[in-house]
Amino acid sequence: MSTLELLEEHIVFDGTQYKYRHESQTLACSMTFSLFLPNKEKFSNPPLLWWLSGLTCTDDNFTHKAGAQKAAARLGVAMIMPDTSPRGEDASDSEDFDLGQGAGFYINATEQPWASHYKMYDYITKELSAIAHGRFQLTGPEFISGHSMGGHGALVIGLRNPERFQSISAFAPIVNPSQVPWGIKAFSEYLGNDKENWREWDAMELLKHDTSKKIPVLIDQGDADPFYEKQLQPAKLAAVADAENYPLTIRMQKGHDHSYYTIASFIEEHLEFHLAQLATNQ
Catalytic residue (choose from 22, 117, 256, 258)? 258
Residue 64 to residue 254: CA distance in whole angstroms: 24
Catalytic residue (choose from 117, 178, 225, 270)? 225
Q: What angle do CA 114, 115, 119 make, to 5 degrees?
A: 100
Residue 173 to residue 228: CA distance in whole angstroms: 9
Catalytic residue (choose from 34, 85, 129, 148)? 148
To the query of whether residue 148 is one of the catalytic residues in this protein, the response is yes
Residue 185 corresponds to which amino acid?
K
To the query of whether residue 202 is one of the catalytic residues in this protein, the response is no
To the query of whether residue 225 is one of the catalytic residues in this protein, the response is yes
Ramachandran bin of 277, using left for φ above 0, alpha for ψ from -120 to 50, beta for the remaining angles: alpha
CB 41 within 8 A of CB 99: no
Output the CA torsion sign for 256, 258, 261, 267.
positive
Number of other CB atoms surrounding residue 261 within 10 Å: 12
Which uninterrupted H or E stretch holds 209? Answer: helix 203-209
CB 208 within 8 A of CB 183: no
The set of catalytic residues is 148, 225, 258
